[in-house]
Structure 1
Amino acid sequence: MAGRYVSIDTTELRRFIERLNQAGRGKEFEKELSRFLDAIAVEFLSYVQDFIIQAGSVDTRLLLNSFQKSGEGNVFIAQEGGLQIEVGTNVEYASFVNDGHWLNPRGVDMRWVPGEWQGERFIYQPGAKTGMLLKQKWIEGSHYFDDAIRLMERMAPQFMERKIEQWLGQFFSDFL
């Protein structure tokens, strides 16, 4: 078949690749990506809060509020360059509530905790003559964080798919 050849016009493909490069380096796309990562992190924090409330784990608002962006004890990092999302809490007892814990330290069968009962709630008061005696016992965790991770893992592919479709329409509508 000498002298026969196929010619393919790659003008549109080259234009599309050029647009991908521009979008990848463009400030507008970086802002979009940053907003998206922030939204994913905030969504995850709302899942955590929902599971804390469902478990009835909160006697103060500290744990619940620490899973809110800018809340006391909150950890919130959402970077776009390396696509890193890190959210969590620095509240000391958060892992005890999630994972479970022994009521007393290792080797301590019973201990006295000074304070008073106000209805169903115990108020710790150092030096009080009243209080309660705690016996060694395992307190099961509510696994609120683990449940939120499982939910997010199930939901993330849908979030990503919708966002990619939106970005394709926003940045590449002339190719669709």
Structure 2
Amino acid sequence: MKINGLKKFLKEVEKAADGGFKKDLALWLEGSGMEFLAIIQDEIIRTGTVDTRRLLNSFQRGDSDSAWSLKSGSLTLEVGTNLTYASLANDGHTTVDLSSGKDRRWVPGRWKGDRFEYDPNERESGMLLKVKWVDGSGYWDNAVAIFEKMFDKSLERRLQGWMDSLGGA
């Protein structure tokens, strides 16, 4: 998200707050990122997105599949996941990768009664899926919409709190 005039505002306030404001803002931004990750996880669960917990866990700070980068100098926070199938689960996909022609229909594993167990190391058995469109759940899009509504109000309250504290100094 881009906030017009934030850099200029930060410079003015930083002079008055002796640099403590920027540190406080970075902590607030980090907390906002954590809140966004929680919203994404909630949406993965709420929408019933097919998940083996790997997708859900990848939206946790510190997970090996997580994307988390906070640059306090420019007050930039990037959060997300490094899992390649995350966008497929959100947007939808076919069982054939149209860009590469790679057939994703073969799923290695074994049948145990009427239940299929996925096993990426299985070489002898598996199941063949029909070519079809798999709808995405929109979990990411939903989470962004929810967070944007919350972020604006949170930022406004936080900035007002900082302004009030500077006025009382």
Q: TM-score normalized by structure 1?
A: 0.75
Which runs of structure 2 are paired with 1:52-67 in the superposition (5 Å)? Answer: 52-67=44-59
The Cα shift of 1:92 comes to 1.7
Work out the CA distance in 2 between the residues paired with 1:95 and 1:19. 39
Return closer, same or farther for 1:165/1:105 CA change in 2, 3 Å cut-off.
Answer: closer
User: In the TM superposition, what are the counterparts of 1:120-159 in structure 2 within 5 Å?
Assistant: 120-124=115-119, 125-129=121-125, 131-159=126-154
1:32 aligns with 2:24: yes
Cα displacement (A) at 1:156: 1.2
Task: Give 1:73's aligned residue.
Answer: 65
Which residue number corresponds to residue 117 of structure 1? Answer: 111
Match of 2:15 among 21, 34, 44: 21
Retained in 1: the 8 A contact 2:96–2:102? yes
Is the radius of gyration larger for structure 1 or structure 2? Answer: 1
CA contact (8 A) 1:103 1:134 kept: yes
Which segments of 5 or more consecutive residues in structure 2 lack a partner in the other structure? 1-11
Question: For the Cα contact (< 8 Å) 1:76–1:87, is it kept in 2?
Answer: yes
Q: What's the counterpart of residue 46 of structure 1?
A: 38
Secondary structure of the residue that 2:118 maps to in structure 1?
strand
8 Å contact kept, 1:108–1:136 = no
Instruction: Check conservation: 2:14, 2:22, Cα contact below 8 A.
Output: no
Corresponding position of 1:13 = none
Number of residue pairs the alignment of both structures matches = 154
Deviation (angstroms), 1:45: 0.8
Whole-Å Cα distance in 1 between the matches of residues 103 and 75 of structure 2? 48
SS at match of 1:135: coil
Match of 1:168 among 157, 160, 163: 163
Indicate how the Cα distance of structure 1 residues 128 and 33 shifts in structure 2: closer, same or farther if over 3 A, else same. Answer: same
Q: What is the rounded CA distance, in whole Å, between the counterparts of 1:111 and 1:86 in structure 2?
A: 33
Query: TM-score of the superposition, structure 2-length normalised?
Result: 0.78
**1:102 and 1:27, CA in 2 relative to 1: closer, same or farther beyond 3 A?**
same
Q: For the aligned residues, what is the CA RMSD?
A: 2.5
Distance in structure 1 (CA, Å) of the matches to 2:164 and 2:104: 64
